[in-house]
Amino acid sequence: MPGPKIFWIDQEDRVEVLRPDSQNRRLYPGRVLSRHLLSSLRAKEGDVFSLSDPDTGTIYRGTLVSRNPCALDLETDSSRCLREEGSLQLGVSFSPLKGDSLSDALSMAVMAGIDTFQPVIADRSIVRWSEGDGWGSKEKRFEGIIREKSQLAGRSTRMRVASPLPLKSFLESRPDDVFLWFDEDPEFGCDPVKTLEAIRRFPATYWTRKTIWSIVGPEGGWSEKDRSCLRSPETEGRVFRVSLGERVYSGEMALLASILFLGTFLLPVLSPGIFWKSSYPQTGER
């Protein structure tokens, strides 16, 4: 059946527990979800859909039991295993971008499985968002993109968009995390393949309750003031400098490359199968 791979249960949707001693629930969809199921998909009684509570990541099988009123019986789908509590998280930090390129990057981050999207203000950032610079209206627009792309991609959890922070404050607020510093100067960094090899040398337990962050700078490049912010985490062995080669990338291109590196290459290498463990054999062969 065409449509999103998963539907999010939102605030306007109402869930009732059928019996106090039962795990089964009944969902009464709000206006948006009802219209999608009944008008767009023309669902019939007995049709089954995947639904998720994006705040907990719980996935349900929803069976349409009534069209008027629209109602679905929910059953927890234990076959679709999600990330374990305390597992590795992925974060993308970036210098704010102008125009529609930010929406494109946000969409890619959602579909790549990024957990947190963090704007940081570097020394040479041209766009300097702040809490008072219309940030609330941006957040509202971001919510719609996150919901739409998550449902299309079959993502059951909500990506967090954090408020902008100065680069130094951001690094200091993450004392246990690991940073992939994307540098425009190849002299300062390793290529992505060597970076992956270096990261894989750490035991799996090292990544427990940690976030790996990619850090992408502004189009003007990193200043010496920005680089000085790295001294403390680099001394502690928590910084991997990454080079994307001799070419000079635009801000949006560098950001998209870092998202692709994190979600498509790094996450499967460090924690294979943590999203859908039951989908693949335990031997690692697909």
- Residue that terminates a domain, selected from 26, 49, 76: 76
Record the tokens describing residue 196, joined without a space: 């992956």
Say which residue the tokens 């070419």 belong to. 247
Whether 70 is covered by a domain: the verdict is yes
Query: Is residue 203 domain-shared with residue 115, that is, in the same domain?
Result: yes
Give the model's confidence band at 233: pLDDT under 50 very low, under 70 low, under 90 confident, else very high: very high
CA 268, 270, 275, 278 torsion-angle sign = positive
Angle between helix 251-260 and 101-111 (nearest 10): 0
Whether 49 is covered by a domain: the verdict is yes
Say which residue the tokens 């529609």 belong to. 100
Number of compact structural domains in the chain: 2
Query: Is residue 185 domain-shared with residue 252, that is, in the same domain?
Result: yes
Query: Is residue 72 domain-shared with residue 191, that is, in the same domain?
Result: no
Tell me the CATH number at 50: 2.40.240
Query: Is residue 129 domain-shared with residue 236, that is, in the same domain?
Result: yes
pLDDT digits (tens, 9 = 90+) for 66-122: 999 999 999 988 766 555 555 789 999 998 877 677 888 999 999 999 999 999 998
Whether 278 is covered by a domain: the verdict is no
Whether the pLDDT of residue 276 is over 50: the answer is: no
Query: Is residue 181 domain-shared with residue 246, that is, in the same domain?
Result: yes
**For the purposes of burial, counting CB atoms within 10 Å of the CB of 162, is it exposed (0-12), middle (13-18) or buried (19 or more)?**
middle
Model pLDDT, residue 228: 92
Rounded Cα distance, 254 and 242, in Å: 11
Tell me the CATH number at 122: 3.40.1280.10
Rounded Cα distance, 254 and 262, in Å: 12
Main-chain phi, psi angles of 50, to 5 degrees: -90, 130
Rounded Cα distance, 211 and 223, in Å: 25
CA separation, residue 126 to residues 16, 221, 224, 230, 251 (Å): 49, 11, 17, 21, 11
Tell me which H or E stretch contains 11: none
Instruction: Assess contact for 53 and 9: CB atoms under 8 A.
Output: yes
Query: Is residue 57 domain-shared with residue 105, that is, in the same domain?
Result: no
Q: Which residues form the domain of 25? A: 7-76
Whether 276 is covered by a domain: the verdict is no
Model pLDDT, residue 74: 94
- Residue that terminates a domain, selected from 76, 99, 115: 76
- Residue that terminates a domain, selected from 76, 102, 129: 76
Instruction: Assess contact for 186 and 243: CB atoms under 8 A.
Output: yes
Query: Is residue 49 domain-shared with residue 94, that is, in the same domain?
Result: no
Query: Is residue 103 domain-shared with residue 193, that is, in the same domain?
Result: yes
Instruction: Provide the Cα torsion 158, 164, 167, 170; round to 10°.
Output: -50
pLDDT digits (tens, 9 = 90+) for 248-258: 778 788 899 89
Give the model's confidence band at 173: pLDDT under 50 very low, under 70 low, under 90 confident, else very high: very high
Query: Is residue 20 domain-shared with residue 109, that is, in the same domain?
Result: no
